[in-house]
Each structure stands twice: as C-alpha cells, then as structure tokens.
Amino acid sequence: MRVDASHRSWQVGDANALHDVLVWRDKRGGARFWLSEGLEQYPVLAITVTGELADVIYFSEEGHPGFRCLGGEGLPKDGSTTFVFDGCDPWTGEDSPNEFVVSLKTACSIAVEFLQRKQMSETVSWFEL
C-alpha cells in the first residue's frame, strides 16, 4: 500500500509498518495521509491528524464526494476541532465538526482494515457526502 503525505511517500506491507507511518508528524505537528493501492487512485482513504485526533474520509471512486467517518466521542457536540498540518488551508488550520472527529487509535484501525480489505471499514459508521 502506498501512503502519501506532504512531501513524503511510503510503501507499507503490513499493519506494523502502517502504524509506524501514521504516527509520523510534519513540522507543524500534524499530517494528512492519503492511502491507496500502488498507482491506483481509487479507492483512497484520507486521514488528517492533529495530536491524538483524526478525521477520516473514504473515497470510493472518482467524482464521488466521499464518506466521512462518524465520531465525536468525548468531544463537545456542536463544536469543532482544528487540524493543523503542512498544506492546510487556511494556514491557521482546517476546522472539522466534532461529529467527524475520531481518536487516532480508531483512525489507525480503519487504516489497517483498508490495508487488508481495500474497502471502506465496516466497523465504524459513515456519513455519505
């Protein structure tokens, strides 16, 4: 599996290698990862991380807006979380509604399932955009 981030790419073959990549942080303390199978563009899993929090989006095919992982556990219901990483727009960070924010642990589990099955995780709930 190929994992891309700002100015970096990795090839991972197992869950341990994938976990090692997903704990990497850019110079701003966050990261946005794109996971795909080799040179195939779809399906793709996008994981944005700040600290121990993540926002996960699954894109099944070109032209589809994607599916956002539902979360929000332990976060203010009507609040948002700011994700800061290289390339975020605006530079001050991208806000994500807390209903779409999950723990890094959950994001890693979703990523491992994607690595193994090349499909959207069935262990979490999703919101179709």
Q: Where are the domains of the chain?
A: 2-128
Q: What is the pLDDT of residue 40?
A: 78
ω into 90 cis (within 30 of 0) = yes
Residue 39: predicted pLDDT: 78
What tokens were used for 106? 């959950």
Q: What is the pLDDT of residue 41?
A: 84
What would the pLDDT profile of 53-87 be if each residue is shown by its tens digit? 999 999 999 999 999 999 999 999 999 999 999 99
Tell me what pLDDT residue 90 has.
Answer: 92
Closest CA to 108 of 43, 65, 49: 49
What are the residue ranges in the chain where pLDDT is below 70?
none
